Amino acid sequence: MKIAYLVNRYPAVSHSFIRREILALERQGHEVLRISIRGGNEEPLGPEDQIEAQHTHFVLHRGSKELLLAFSRVFMTRPLNMVKALALVWKLGRQAERPLPVHFVYLVEACLIYLLLQAENAQHLHAHFGTNSAEVAMLTHALGGPPWSFTAHGPEEFDKAGFIGLSEKIRRARFVVAISSFGRSQLFRQVGYDQWKKIRIVRCGLEPAFYEHSTARRPTETARLICVGRLCEQKGQLLLLQATKRLVDAGIKFELVLAGDGEMRGELERTIQRFRLEAVVRITGWITSDQVREQILDSRALILPSFAEGLPVVLMEAMALRRPVISTFVAGIPELVEPGKHGWLVPAGDVDRLAAAMQACLQCSDEQIESMGENARTKVIQLHDVDSEAQHLAELFLGSPDQRSNGPEVSSKPS
């Protein structure tokens, strides 16, 4: 089967899970056409992502002339579909946070994608994220494109459900993927019970090559914690700096690495200076997937004090590398991390509990840290094998009998 994947920005360091999913589908004999609305050239790309970039069609790289020609061609050849698509643009644009002309641009992008799918004879279109990429996929289908679906990750889709027309997208999609039970419940909230059967759980996966061939390093060899993620409000790095200052003031010696970049970097750097943590905290900026793996292996544990999430892939990656994690009781995280067995979970926004968890991790015995790391690896490999998850996804693409059923089943697999 030939499947087209549509992502707003691909490849990207933060989208390694999409690359793994695509490659797993290809190992199972499916052909995957990669389409990215924008390029991912603002981040450093590792060798695997550089290869992906060579096989990806970039929509906006085509230029305005080719986009307008595509719009004209579709308008002339499929006028009735164009009218329906324009009506859908009007419907979505009236309630969206972005102005109506932006949604018209999405339609122009959809025209080019529609022609590409026709030329490539793609049989299904799948978008990652329920935001603008899902809207472009929906408009592509309205123009006469193949059946479509999307994976919702959260938290943005859930925070702005009304503004992005999430319920409309769910109703019009052939099926919708959630990456956790929590995510599925948030999608259930957007539509009536009659639509629930099309919402399925397919977890983000890890391939054995990521964790089996890593150089073995004991997590107890260093007093370093690492936080991986975009430097933004929802990841909680400012709270992490407050907790770090408390531990430093208490005389606890350790290092903290903030791996990533983002809109809050300036504020975080100023806070580091104000708290006099320059000798303790280091910000790496954007680093490649391979560099993220090395940074995790060089750390005692991964810490992610998020205020809002879907289910962070970096938690899975750290656990697969035998590192315990410190995170929060948010979204799908408790489905993966059991406190005391795989690490520590604290209430989001609680600096006292966060500092206590960090101190407990740093002062744990070597045997406790290594035991939690082994437990974490076992759990994540059991739940997040990429080939197994890709097989479930392929069954949905193929329209398995269970997917076509009108029965009350709401998940294709145990959650």
**What number is the average pLDDT over the span 270-287?**
97
**What number is the average pLDDT over the span 190-210?**
95
Q: In the prediction, which pLDDT does 220 show?
A: 66
DSSP secondary structure letter of residue 224: E
Q: In the prediction, which pLDDT does 212 show?
A: 81
Q: How many whole angstroms separate alpha carbon 213 and alpha carbon 382?
A: 18
Q: In the prediction, which pLDDT does 75 show?
A: 97
Query: In the predicted model, is pLDDT for residue 411 greater than 60?
Result: no
Token look-up 């999405």 returns: 106
Omega before 155 cis (within 30°)? yes
Number of CB atoms found within 10 A of residue 279's CB: 9
* pLDDT band per the 50, 70, 90 thresholds, residue 406: very low
* pLDDT band per the 50, 70, 90 thresholds, residue 410: very low
Share of the chain above pLDDT 90, in %: 87
Q: In the prediction, which pLDDT does 412 show?
A: 39
**What number is the average pLDDT over the span 113-117?**
98
Q: Which domains does the chain have, with CATH numbers?
A: 2-205+385-404 (3.40.50.2000), 209-383 (3.40.50.2000)
Q: In the prediction, which pLDDT does 130 show?
A: 97
Query: In the predicted model, is pLDDT for residue 218 greater than 80?
Result: no
* pLDDT band per the 50, 70, 90 thresholds, residue 306: very high
pLDDT digits (tens, 9 = 90+) for 36-88: 999 756 667 888 999 999 999 999 999 999 999 999 999 999 999 999 999 99
Angle between helices 132-142 and 79-95 (to 10 degrees): 150
The whole-chain average pLDDT of the chain stands at 93
Q: How many whole angstroms separate alpha carbon 137 and alpha carbon 106?
A: 9
pLDDT digits (tens, 9 = 90+) for 139-170: 999 999 999 999 999 999 999 999 999 999 99
Q: How many whole angstroms separate alpha carbon 200 and alpha carbon 177?
A: 5
Compute the half-sphere exposure of residue 111: CA atoms within 13 Å on the CB side of its CA.
Answer: 27
Q: How many whole angstroms separate alpha carbon 271 and alpha carbon 254?
A: 18
The tokens of 364 are what? Answer: 């744990």
Q: How many whole angstroms separate alpha carbon 152 and alpha carbon 128?
A: 7
Q: In the prediction, which pLDDT does 408 show?
A: 35
**What number is the average pLDDT over the span 126-131?**
98
Q: In the prediction, which pLDDT does 95 show?
A: 85
